């Protein structure tokens, strides 16, 4: 048994190193914390890989929100160099102290100002995440795990969600699924196009690589995606398809919990239970520039 575990770990290590080496020269932002990183680093502009100001509860610090759980690294974490991190929400996760309908903690790349290199030409964001059984999500709510918000703050370029959508677009039997959405037509009331879905189990890493071709004219842009579970190699699950990506944008990575109940104004109304203690574990987060 010990031998098989050791061999498994070596295979994971080799796979992670091979993946990183293959893409290292193209990486334009690396969001994988060092093995020596501390939660307080996320509060320090000189040390943090992420924006230290946004998006969290108004009286919270990132060292209140981010932790480093004891777990094996993800597909694209290099052993003894990177370590996974957890992003959590609680009752105080009220953005700007005003959006009472949401509970949210989302990290944003520190270089990502909505028009930087991460949202120009063609780029791919890699990330892995998994559930934390100590901080389970409540899948009767809708969650955003990662999304790209346009520079005009009025739409999303694409998003990965889980939980039960309050508009009825996700059936109850699929509430614990991961769903990748594109936004081909912002003029539609919901604007969303379901591109891929898969069960979200409570144990495994779920690995995504989402490629965006950023348009320069209104309505331009494409999206494609790869996915794998655990330590299996990524496989294409979304072929290149048209997707609005002409306004740049900012990546949000974490836990964005929507309300239930009155959803006529989801930002300010609706129901959130007391005593929230929920989180997701992330690893292998980086953005690379695709070759032309």
CA-to-CA separations, 280 to 34, 171, 256, in angstroms, rounded = 19, 23, 11
For the cut 50, the answer to whether the pLDDT of residue 18 exceeds it is no
Q: Average of pLDDT values for 80-99?
A: 94
For the cut 80, the answer to whether the pLDDT of residue 7 exceeds it is no
Helix/strand/coil for 234: coil
- Return the higher-pLDDT residue of 181 and 6: 181
In sequence order, the β-bridge partners of residue 212 are 123, 223
What is the percentage of the chain residues whose pLDDT exceeds 70?
Answer: 88
Quote the pLDDT of residue 264: 86
Quote the pLDDT of residue 165: 85
Q: Average of pLDDT values for 147-164?
A: 94
Q: Average of pLDDT values for 102-115?
A: 96
* Helices and strands (DSSP H and E) totals, the chain: 2, 14
Helix/strand/coil for 32: coil
| Tens digits of residue pLDDT in 202-260 | 899 999 999 999 998 888 999 999 999 999 999 999 999 999 999 999 999 999 999 99
Q: How many domains does the chain contain in total?
A: 1
Quote the pLDDT of residue 142: 96
CATH of the domain at 137: 2.60.120.1160
Quote the pLDDT of residue 273: 95
For the cut 50, the answer to whether the pLDDT of residue 3 exceeds it is no
The range of the structural domain enclosing residue 76 comes to 2-289
Q: What is the pTM of this model?
A: 0.91
**Confidence grade of residue 189 (pLDDT, cut at 50, 70, 90):** low
Least confident segment among 10-24, 48-62, 148-162: 10-24
Q: Average of pLDDT values for 275-282?
A: 98
For the cut 70, the answer to whether the pLDDT of residue 132 exceeds it is yes
- Return the higher-pLDDT residue of 141 and 171: 141
Quote the pLDDT of residue 57: 94
Quote the pLDDT of residue 173: 79
* Distance (Å, whole) CA 133 – CA 135: 5
Least confident segment among 131-140, 186-195, 251-260: 186-195
Count other Cβ atoms within 10 Å, centred on residue 24.
12
* Distance (Å, whole) CA 55 – CA 255: 10
**Confidence grade of residue 154 (pLDDT, cut at 50, 70, 90):** confident
């Amino acid at each position: 048994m010990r031998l098989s575990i050791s061999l498994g770990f070596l295979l994971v290590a080799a796979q992670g190193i091979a993946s990183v080496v293959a893409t290292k020269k193209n990486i334009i932002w690396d969001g994988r914390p060092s093995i020596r990183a501390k939660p307080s680093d996320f509060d320090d502009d000189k040390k943090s890989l992420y924006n230290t100001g946004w998006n969290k509860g108004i009286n919270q610090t990132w060292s209140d929100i981010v932790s480093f759980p004891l777990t094996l690294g993800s597909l694209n974490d290099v052993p003894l160099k990177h370590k996974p991190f957890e992003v959590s929400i609680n009752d105080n996760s009220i953005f700007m102290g005003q959006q009472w309908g949401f509970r949210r903690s989302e990290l944003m790349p520190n270089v990502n100002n909505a028009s930087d290199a991460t949202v120009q030409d063609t780029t791919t964001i890699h990330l892995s995440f998994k559930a934390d059984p100590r901080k389970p999500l409540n899948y009767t709510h809708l969650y955003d795990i990662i999304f790209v918000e346009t520079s005009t703050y009025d739409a999303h370029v694409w998003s990965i969600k889980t939980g039960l959508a309050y508009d009825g677009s996700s059936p109850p039997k699929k509430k614990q699924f991961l769903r990748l959405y594109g936004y081909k037509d912002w003029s539609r009331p919901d604007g969303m196009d379901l591109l891929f879905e898969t069960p979200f189990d409570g144990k495994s890493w779920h690995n995504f690589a989402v490629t965006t071709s950023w348009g320069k004219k209104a309505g331009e842009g494409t999206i494609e995606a790869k996915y794998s579970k655990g330590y299996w190699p990524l496989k294409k699950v979304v072929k290149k398809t048209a997707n609005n990506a002409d306004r740049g944008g900012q990546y949000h990575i974490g836990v964005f919990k929507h309300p239930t109940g009155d959803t006529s104004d989801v930002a300010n109304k609706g129901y959130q239970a007391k005593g929230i203690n929920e989180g997701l574990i992330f690893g292998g987060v980086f953005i690379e520039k695709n070759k032309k």
